[in-house]
Amino acid sequence: MADARAGGLGRAVIFLGPPGAGKGTQAKQIAKHYSVPHLSTGDMFRELVAQDTPLGKRAKPIMDRGDLVPDDIVLEMVAERVSRPDTARGFVLDGFPRTLPQAEKLDEILQARSWGQPLVVHFVVDAAQLVRRLTGRRICSVGGEIYNIYDQPPKVEGRCDNDGGQLIHRADDREEVIVERLAAYREQTRPLVDYYRSQGVLVDVDGMQPPAAVTAKVLEILERGQKAHSSPAPSPAAANQMSQRYER
């Protein structure tokens, strides 16, 4: 197994952080850099539904209703996906796990496949910046390119620079919805920061920096490999100051 994983990431990497922290953007960059899969549960479900697999058939009516897919289906999907040959050199998990029970089950899945502990990259962004990023986000309806009307606007209002596609303001990027999303994150997902920090596998990254600087920092962490994995946890005061910033 070790030879098969030569190069690449050589491990499971989890990107953790609140909505708007830049996890998806960074996950795509890092996965491309290392030529490993970028795994998001949304993409996985869409693939299973499109292929009309048994798991996709179970998930589709739940998704169509707008309900949360139960953990047993999500975990079965993740276990199947990380067992595929293309994950042999590592992979980046984006947006999963979301809850402590999911994290504990994911540990079991990774251990069963001899992956050991994951490396968890925690993106830290102030709450005000998160709201600005999300309310200003616009997504191309054709190619999926992401813009921000405040910080990275298109050349022509409402149109993608690359293909002229219409830019969409997603319903869940409206301020009243964002407030609820951030509250849900603090309640359900924020405990994962403490969970992974207690295991010594979590590294904080300042997500307030420009995207290129964030990517460079993440690459630096990943290149350290086992050194980052075994580095001492920050002092409780420093960890609390860093990880609580987005809650102010």
Per-residue pLDDT, 179: 87
Q: Where are the beta strands (DSSP E) in the chain?
A: 12-16, 38-40, 91-94, 119-124, 137-140, 146-148, 167-168, 202-206
- Residues assigned a catalytic role: 23, 98, 137, 170, 181
Per-residue pLDDT of 25-39, as tens digits, reads 899 999 999 999 999
Per-residue pLDDT of 77-97, as tens digits, reads 999 999 999 999 999 999 899
Global pTM value: 0.80
The residues, any chain, with a CB within 8 Å of residue 116's CB and separated by 6 or more, are 11, 110
Q: In which order are the strands placed within the sheet that holds 91-94?
A: 38-40, 91-94, 12-16, 119-124, 202-206
Per-residue pLDDT, 237: 44
CATH of domain 12-125+188-231: 3.40.50.300
Domain ranges of the chain: 12-125+188-231
